[in-house]
Amino acid sequence: MGQDLQHQMMGYDRAITLFTPEGRLLQVEYAKKTVKQGSTAIGIRYADGVVIVSDKRLIDPLILGRSVEKIFPIDTHVIAAAAGIMSDARVLAERARVKAQQHRITYGTPADVLTLVKDMCDLKQLTTQSGGYRPFGVSFIIAGVDSSGPHVYETDPTGIYFEYAATAIGEGEEKAREVLHKEYKDGLTRDEALLLGLRVLKHVLGDDFKLERVDAAYVEQEAVFLDEQAIQQLAEKMK
């Protein structure tokens, strides 16, 4: 890139409300690159529920693994995992929890998964068009079971969302999706879905794969978070 063009582009990335002549919002693209640097998370739908398996990526050997939260409980029937700036993720997860509780109080029933996804994405989209904001530098996998069945959604920093049978976010996204495309099939059992998530994470991390880095949860009637012993027992089935 020539120096003049580089200086020209710098003018467009100083405000979120400025499009480049090519129709790009550079701040949003930078937010997407932030997500690519986040730790990997995998969401899988199976016959009776949904599974999320995530990499805790402990950055310091002195950090206790149980203190690192990578899968967020949103409601009794909904969980979420994030990749990107985790402080942004915490704020969005807290907002989703409040929305879920407001729905229960107002209507007397659990919120469906799509309602929570849309609310989060509305806020994400708002920060891509308003001066004084920056985009949320985080993507989410939001998974749960409602009256219409199990659902796995992925959201990105633009506020767009899609529903998937299986998906992945974070630094290992491309490698993870290669395995999911090959190995995912309809009608998986819970254990098969959990094992697939572990295999995908092991493929992504390679020699760095360790069970203490794994965070895993599933939802059928309610969300269940796997402890270290449960993950160890599951990993033994991979051998």
What's the angle, vertex CA 116, arms to CA 160 and CA 132, rounded to 5?
Answer: 55
Strand partners, 10: none
Give Cα 172 to chain centroid, integer Å. 12
Q: Are strands 50-55 and 214-219 parallel, antiparallel or unpaired?
A: antiparallel
pLDDT tens for each residue of the chain, 239 residues long: 455 555 455 566 777 778 888 888 888 999 999 999 999 999 999 999 999 999 988 777 777 766 677 899 999 999 999 999 999 999 999 999 999 999 999 999 999 999 999 999 999 999 998 878 889 999 999 999 999 999 999 999 999 999 999 999 999 999 999 999 999 999 999 999 999 999 999 999 999 898 888 999 999 989 999 998 999 998 888 76
Q: What is the pTM of this model?
A: 0.91
Q: What are the residues whose beta carbons fall under 8 Å from the beta carbon of 173, sequence distance 6 or more?
A: 36, 40, 83
How many Å from the N-terminal Cα to the C-terminal Cα in the chain? 50
Separation CA 137–CA 2 (nearest Å): 28
Domains and CATH numbers, the chain: 71-232 (3.60.20.10)
Residue of 81, 117, 82 whose CA lies nearest to 100 = 117
Strand partners, 41: 54, 169
